[in-house]
Structure 1
């Protein structure tokens, strides 16, 4: 930002004043600091305070940390990408509304404090409850993702767009449309919806191997399996995520997926 240049004024300083300043170095330093501040951008104090705020359009590790907190408490259901977009803003506003905060979609000190407190309470509660099922990701396959034709097809589609109801690369994919397309390319026809794949197709397995499909529930307001991805090893999957991310690789170790894991199936 442009700094304002002030003209230098000369004045006569009394001997007494010089002596006074000589014996009060701390005061002199403070005066100098204030003089420098006044000669810099007039909005510097506002800028300093704004750096502690997170709002739509920001991109940082701090945003990713907020997304992680929101995800662990069920408000944020997408990728931890550090991008403060409209989905993150909506999640922040929902949290603020539920916790009696000003609903502005901006993460300031009060919202950060409430997130941290709620996160501690959620963690303490989860430690005292018995989880109905945990994700077992000890893959029984000794191969690598390149050993699977299904995975190779899925990898070739990374970066394709997300479109609700989409079933092809040209129109984009929704989550179940992506699974259907990948397996169709490998000669396997599956049910169109996640719930039907889970109940009717393939075989249930105790832990996923490369090329299997991993299923999740409660990813939105629907009973049973509501999302799935193709397991590629190392606790990762390829899935059609959101309109913001499209087809992508996702880390299944994060709390969001762990809490919603339903199981795995083989469609060989």
Structure 2
């Protein structure tokens, strides 16, 4: 999927996102209620949301050195994933996210090399991998406003220059428009509908070939994933009287999404029965 050039600007947001939790949708007994195009069921306040966890997180350290473990993100984790991949232990995407798949690869590596099998990459594991001990670092996300009169917000690559950080950019943009009013057919910060919100977010991170409707996105765009990761799009059907996918939101982890509902762009808890009963699946627009 083509990505346009991204622009360096004046805001700096430090974003590091948590590893995805397994989301097991309840797909039986779907209820095709006429809930409206921008259904807001399950909306929660910012203080109740997972957004406070999607902030800069320092890599834990001990008197023995730096520990890289579940929940850490960034270039350090990517280096570990690449080394594990080269040795045949890691076969997933190099994404810089220390999740359950990376943790299992580390444990397998530790078992084969007679190390303590704890899934934590400390000095001994780093040394065996021939990787240097690493300091915790900041992955800065830079956002710029080009023209406030046009509400044009663009996102640049993180300071590490690694495209894998685009998922944190997606969350940053989605978060930046929370509170935007719901307007049928809208695609700007003046007002947006549910699919217009998805289009806006991905346009700002340079992914500008997203279809306009949920149904077309589900059928034509990105790649299907078994479980959503942070920055993926979760889809729902039957939220109003239309065939196919009828609603979607940006997944931010912990069974939560940012979406454009009846009350505008907000955070919703998708573990409640309403969203579970309408859940269709998830797609990644960055792979």
Question: TM-score, with normalisation over the residues of structure 2?
Answer: 0.44
- The structure having more radius of gyration, on CA atoms, is 1
Q: 1 or 2 for the larger relative contact order (CA 8 Å, sep ≥6)? A: 2
Q: Which has the higher strand share?
A: 2
Q: Which has the higher helix share?
A: 1
